[in-house]
Amino acid sequence: GAGVSQSPSNKVTEKGKDVELRCDPISGHTALYWYRQSLGQGLEFLIYFQGNSAPDKSGLPSDRFSAERTGGSVSTLTIQRTQQEDSAVYLCASSSQGFSTDTQYFGPGTRLTVL
Amino acid sequence: AQSVTQLDSHVSVSEGTPVLLRCNYSSSYSPSLFWYVQHPNKGLQLLLKYTSAATLVKGINGFEAEFKKSETSFHLTKPSAHMSDAAEYFCVVSQMMDSSYKLIFGSGTRLLVRP
């Protein structure tokens, strides 16, 4: 079956521009997660959705970052006024219900480069 | 809060020899632990997970890990390394949030397999 997909696979933008990253989770998965992988910080949690609501936004690094999920499916991560330190690989994952024992399935990621 | 420590940033083995990737965890309750693998320019793939059933967990591609509560360890092993095992490996613990769980990643161990 189809896995988690993300688009675009690569995004190059200029400092100060806004970007939108998209995630399509596995069909039927109610839990969706965003993570960021960067050289200096490793893999870090950004935000979690259960259905369309985000009970935990604690990982968002600043108010320039926001995310939404519609129809319990597709999610968009938006970064406003991008900065060079936002350059990283943004990973999306989904799991069936969000329990501790559930496997999180990861997409291939979006590599963001801010010039 | 939960955390994991991967004791080696790089491990180098010869093809056909055993692999040992070390991980220690910290958790205030019985944790769910995972090992993920990331091949170059590829997404994260689950190798195996521990969810308080059997302490010896078998995963894909001949990998296994043993949960040792007394040592707070979850080391990953494989009897015989293959060239295709060269990748980065992440030890991961699941941390409880309000109504779900997020993954806390170790810093990763890069495995090099020499011919």
- At B65 the pLDDT is 97
Superfamily of domain A23-104: Immunoglobulins (2.60.40.10)
Question: Sorting pLDDT into bands at 50, 70 and 90, what band is A100?
Answer: confident
Q: For the domain that residue B75 is a member of, what is the CATH number?
A: 2.60.40.10
Q: How far does the CA of residue B100 sit from the closest CA of chain A (Å)? A: 5
- At B76 the pLDDT is 98
Average per-residue pLDDT for chain B: 92
Contact criterion met (CB < 8 Å) for A101 and B102: no
Nearest CB partner across the interface for A33, out of B43, B99, B102: B102
In 3D, which of B62, B65, B78, B11 has the Cα closest to residue B34?
B65
Cite the beta strand spans of A8-41 per DSSP E.
10-13, 19-24, 31-38
- At A42 the pLDDT is 86
Residue carrying structure tokens 């894909």: B60
Contact criterion met (CB < 8 Å) for B51 and A104: no
Q: How many residues does chain B have?
A: 115
Contact criterion met (CB < 8 Å) for A43 and B105: yes
- At B34 the pLDDT is 94
pLDDT above 70: residue B98? no
Instruction: List, as ranges, residues 42-71 from B with C-beta within 8 Å of A.
Output: 42-46, 49, 51
Residue B17 lies in a domain: yes
Residue B28 lies in a domain: yes
Contact criterion met (CB < 8 Å) for B101 and A35: no
Residue B72 lies in a domain: yes
Chain-centre distance of CA A82, in angstroms?
Answer: 15
User: Residue A72: CB partners within 8 Å, gap ≥ 6?
Assistant: A30, A51, A52
Question: Sorting pLDDT into bands at 50, 70 and 90, what band is A1?
Answer: low
Within 8 A of B51 by CB-CB distance, chain A residues are 100-101
Q: How far does the CA of residue A91 sit from the closest CA of chain B (Å)? A: 8
Q: What confidence tens digit (pLDDT) does each residue in B41-52 have?
A: 788 999 999 987
Residue B26 lies in a domain: yes
* Number of domains chain B is built from: 1
SS3 A62: coil
Residue B80 lies in a domain: yes
Instruction: Indicate which of A24, A100, A105 best probes the interface with B, i.e. most B CBs within 10 Å of its own CB.
Output: A100
Domain that holds residue B15: 3-50+63-86+95-102+110-114
Q: How far does the CA of residue A45 sit from the closest CA of chain B (Å)? A: 7
d(CA A30, CA B7): 34
Residue B56 lies in a domain: no
Residue B55 lies in a domain: no
Q: What confidence tens digit (pLDDT) does each residue in A37-59 have?
A: 998 778 999 999 999 998 878 88
